[in-house]
Structure 1
């Protein structure tokens, strides 16, 4: 048993996901469309794992299956050794705090009718992380400071913030619940390069400080290589290659991985590119706070 398997927080074995199918009102039972085909994934405590593949490869479906947001038709998913594959809604509710997701489109995942204060505060009260609104306010302001957002955003609505600010609100919402596992799904794909670097620095810092297990879904191979420890390469709902990032990208074993690398050649990666001006790529410098005009 490897060190990662021995300390696994999230473990998927033989996972299949099938959409559609079932028995219609009239006619024979339909088989449905299988999207994942016996996928195995292990994510250790404090480990950041990348999941890559072209559109339609099944990487987002795999991420949602790990969080039990889509039903699994075969296989098992374990969280901290507990089989959660077929737990009902009531049984999953206490575990939801431990498994959080940062969405690709923060505008679609933030309630446009609510203020940022309400968006961040209500989950704290719902899950009992804060005992009252005053405690919630203290925790929210501390987290805003960590993600380099001014307190003025608390009285704003999501549409009044920039894309980068909204994405940091999404990160803050997930981190406030003190999760064990976070799924980040294409979270920098719609941001400019400088904002991407800002968001990735913040995410890497939080992951390090909180000891999060994180799955990072992206089509950007340079981002995966910069922030992930290991990577899974997916094609047609199957894992075709997995291993440490440097090994997979420098010495790919799968023809498909080679095709991906040839299609989007990786630049020479500077290990300090996320944290320029520092000798230690793991310890980012303070990020200047933005003002809300």
Structure 2
């Protein structure tokens, strides 16, 4: 029987903006009563066009965006309005991989500092030497050469920066990871390598993950279930195989029809894995 890790019920998010000319406050409701759950060891897709509210939903699940209405439970604890001092110890268990790793990695720090400091802050390791050993071991797992440790983010490729982002999240051994459009800016080969890495890590570490994307072909590659969003609402959800085989909503059918290749290439991720191995061999 699946065990629910995250359960959100009736989630609403309203953004308020002050109109300077009128001296009044305008409201824009982004989420309209969303119900969503993520089980342990499960990868759930959240898909929709730009402006559908999927990124806002993801940030709300992590309490990075405050909800106006509804409730969010993480591992049985209601975190909806939990004070920051109480939710801070739980942050290690809820990690995020950002769409643009360049903007989420401190440009003034080396990759070594970016990865070791969270381990020390959250007391995952006892000292700097332990953190260094942990990072070096994990670098091989994500297919990065150790020479990257002394580089700055701008000295890495987009694919390498995204692997650093994945490593930063996974090194803390979280229970849940939110991945927000993390392959949208990568070429097809690097996308395949990144998705393969995520699939392997979620399997090996027993992670639960919510994967946000506008691309259903990516969702189909990595997710067990999918929620389809439009205008701040869930219009359809279910197991990926069922949704692709028999979409009920016209909007879901439009998203499926927009996939460049109606049938997924079964060798796509395997070729990406082979190229990643070749790159790692050349780098070493």
Per the alignment, residue 110 of structure 1 pairs with 105
Length-normalised TM-score, structure 2: 0.93
- Asked whether 1:190 is paired with 2:185, we answer yes
1:247 maps to which of 217, 242, 267? 242
1:199 maps to which of 182, 194, 201? 194
Farther off after superposition, 241-250 or 259-268: 259-268
Q: C-alpha deviations, 1:67-91, integer Å up to 9, x for none?
A: 0000000000110111000011111
Structure 1 ranges of 4+ moved more than 6 A:
none
- Asked whether 1:287 is paired with 2:283, we answer no
CA change 1:266–1:158 in 2 (3 A) is same
Farther off after superposition, 254-263 or 212-221: 254-263
| Equivalent-residue separation in structure 2 for 1:23 and 1:196 (angstroms) | 41
Specify the SS of the correspondent of 2:41.
coil
| Equivalent-residue separation in structure 1 for 2:251 and 2:86 (angstroms) | 40
Q: C-alpha deviations, 1:21-68, integer Å up to 9, x for none?
A: 5899x966x461110000011111010011000000000000000000
1:19 maps to which of 15, 19, 37? 15
- Check conservation: 2:181, 2:212, Cα contact below 8 A: yes
Per the alignment, residue 47 of structure 1 pairs with 42
Specify the SS of the correspondent of 1:55.
coil
| Equivalent-residue separation in structure 2 for 1:271 and 1:138 (angstroms) | 36
Per the alignment, residue 137 of structure 2 pairs with 142
| Equivalent-residue separation in structure 1 for 2:146 and 2:256 (angstroms) | 42
Per the alignment, residue 214 of structure 1 pairs with 209
- Check conservation: 1:150, 1:290, Cα contact below 8 A: no
- Asked whether 1:126 is paired with 2:116, we answer no
The structural deviation recorded for 1:262 is 2.3
Q: Specify every segment of 5 or more residues in structure 1 that has no aligned partner in the other structure, as ranges.
A: 278-283
2:255 maps to which of 256, 260, 265? 260
- Check conservation: 2:256, 2:262, Cα contact below 8 A: no
- Check conservation: 2:71, 2:78, Cα contact below 8 A: yes
Length-normalised TM-score, structure 1: 0.91
Q: C-alpha deviations, 1:149-206, integer Å up to 9, x for none?
A: 0111110000000000000000000000000000000101111111111111111100
- Asked whether 1:34 is paired with 2:29, we answer yes
Per the alignment, residue 156 of structure 1 pairs with 151
Per the alignment, residue 280 of structure 1 pairs with none
| Equivalent-residue separation in structure 2 for 1:200 and 1:169 (angstroms) | 14
Per the alignment, residue 4 of structure 2 pairs with 8
Per the alignment, residue 100 of structure 1 pairs with 95
- Check conservation: 1:38, 1:238, Cα contact below 8 A: yes
- Check conservation: 2:217, 2:259, Cα contact below 8 A: no
| Equivalent-residue separation in structure 1 for 2:93 and 2:26 (angstroms) | 34
Q: Specify every segment of 5 or more residues in structure 2 that has no aligned partner in the other structure, as ranges.
A: none
CA change 1:27–1:103 in 2 (3 A) is closer
CA change 1:128–1:65 in 2 (3 A) is same
Count of equivalent residues? 281
